[in-house]
Amino acid sequence: MKNATETVLILDFGSQFAQLIARRVRELGVHSLLVAPSTPIEVLRGLGAKGIIMSGGPASVFEEGAPRCDPAVLEMGIPVLGICYGMQLGCHMLGFEVSPADSREYGRAHLDIHDGHGLMHGIPPRTTVWMSHGDQVRDAHGDLAVLASTDTCAVAAVAHRSKPFFGVQFHPEVTHTPHGIDVLRNFLYGECHCTGNWRMADFLERETARIRAEVGTDRVICGLSGGVDSSVVAALLARAIGDQLTCIFVDNGLLRTGERDLVESTFRGAFDIDLRVIDASAEFLADLEGITDPQEKRRRIGHRFINVFQAAAQEIGANARWLAQGTLYPDVIESGASLAGTAANIKLHHNVGGLPAELGFQLIEPLRDLFKDEVRRLGEVLALPPQIVWRHPFPGPGLAVRVIGEITPERLAILRDCDEIFLEEIVSEDLYRVTSQVFAVLLPVKTVGVMGDGRTYDSVVALRAVTTEDFMTADWARLPWDVLARISNRIINEVKGVNRVVYDISSKPPATIEWE
């Protein structure tokens, strides 16, 4: 067993970038944990952290109700890095003056380095950073060394001379700060003296041992969808407990072409898993007959899934006491089920840490400490095939939310053919890994067209391709025009019932990625 994982805590003061800070720290080989600033100091001490990062946030230190942490955080004897609001709050708690800036600074700025050692080691004397603040630290007197400044911010980076406190007024975690990753690396390795032991191979070893100890000789059931998360959970459990694992794959009739075959060949073949495939497509499609409201579609699909899954689980045996889920760290944060707070409590509806009581299982969530990119790296360590590891997200209700309007077998067949052509061309042009999600949508609209010598009146298909880092925001992908032209030509010529193809160029927000 490897040495215990080194952890850096991130106090979340409401920054839209809090999760991004956590991911950047992990990318640098150090485990990170988002924590609410209101967490008692005894709890923080008990976590045994190597360092603390105080995030940014939209508040001013002078606002009533602005988020605070216990000033004793600065007396824990471990390095603390304040970012933006975190720097202002840290300096304020240490007795330095913070006041409103003459004008709010937002966007790119040029940073001039005054001290190229320590936190700023290896940073060019003049570099670009991303600013977003209304207040500034003003009186950097004897105990506070100024490390860098901008044209409008004289105190843009600081280090306390006698305490291990550091602050940057800019955001080192965003890509708009090219050397921000170097600042974070200097803090983690130069100030916190981390060794970088957060690696997927080590995580796999630790999690395998934990699962074996927790499960004992019981059987575990895993709901396998074929997506990245559930596939990695299945592969991890297979490694940990072998034939004590049973996976259930429900074919709801709303899958893409070849999806069921891929799951069966991967997990029955390469991983030799006890896989139960339940074909309930007739029941799902019967439930959806005549239904056009997207929320009602989701409700009926979810209700039917629970019934089908429960019936399949009951046939497995009395020693099946555990249900595995692919819950990820962002799900835990956004559900309010973690120590994180302030900006985190978003997805209160997410089923984290609890199951419908009637299922009667204990929950096991092997991925609840991981971000999505870490799950993919774990999948590679587990030797899952690339087409699963790098698979784009697919909605739980499947094609039901991509067939806009009424769902029929005929309309599903049209969409499957269009979607398959779209994905074929994206993969063949080596665009799959540079896009985040790619799919076709069948619209409840018919338009006039001309094919050969005849007039047609057929369906419209929309193509959607986006790029994103966290799926909270997304931009439409600038696919090459010749690729789009070829996709459109193939769909119209090869898919009977479609005579028009459109491309969705809306970003999230204001649009969502999916259409329903």
Q: How many CB atoms lie within 10 A of CB 28?
A: 18
Catalytic residue among 69, 171, 247, 418: 171
Which is nearest to 129 in space by CA: 101, 95, 145, 153? 153
For residue 173, what are the CA distances in angstroms to 69, 86, 184?
Answer: 21, 14, 8
Q: Which of 69, 84, 192, 247 is catalytic?
A: 84
Buried b (16+ CB within 10 A) or exposed e, 334-367: bbbbbbbbbbbeebeebebbeeeeeeebebbbbb
Indicate if 173 belongs to the active site.
yes
Helix (H, G, I), strand (E, B) or coil at 416: helix
Helices H / strands E in the chain, number of each: 14, 18
Which CA distances in Å does 260 have to 14, 265, 468?
A: 42, 9, 27
Tokens representing 109 are 């700025």
Cβ within 8 Å of residue 121, ≥6 positions away:
182, 186, 190
Q: Are strands 320-324 and 80-83 parallel, antiparallel or unpaired?
A: unpaired
Catalytic residue among 6, 105, 173, 191: 173
Distance CA 465, CA 431 (A): 10
- Rounded to the nearest 5°, which phi and psi values hold at 32? -125, 155
Provide the 8-state DSSP code for 2: P
β pairing state of 437-451 and 454-467:
antiparallel
171 is catalytic: yes
Active site residues: 84, 171, 173
